[in-house]
Amino acid sequence: MNTTLTRTLATLAIALTAFTAHAADDDEKTITDQNGCRVVNPAPRAEETVTWTGACRDGFTEGKGVLQWYQSGIADEKYEGEMARGYAEGVGVMTHTDGGRYEGEWKASRQEGEGSYFAPDGSVYKGGWKNGKPHGFGSYRTPEGKVLRGQWIDGDFQREEKNDPNKT
* Integer Cα distance of 148 and 160 in angstroms: 7
Chain segment 120-150, per-residue pLDDT in tens: 999 999 999 999 999 999 999 999 999 999 9
Q: Do residues 98 and 120 make contact, with C-beta atoms less than 8 angstroms apart? A: yes
Average pLDDT, stretch 16-29? 50
Instruction: Please give the mean pLDDT across all residues of the chain.
Output: 86
| Chain Cα centroid distance, residue 2 | 27
Q: Do residues 71 and 48 make contact, with C-beta atoms less than 8 angstroms apart? A: yes
- Provide the pLDDT for residue 165: 59
Chain segment 11-21, per-residue pLDDT in tens: 454 344 444 44
pTM exceeds 0.85: no
pLDDT of 61 strictly over 60: yes
pLDDT of 27 strictly over 50: yes
Q: Where are the beta strands (DSSP E) in 58-123?
A: 60-71, 74-84, 87-95, 101-107, 110-118
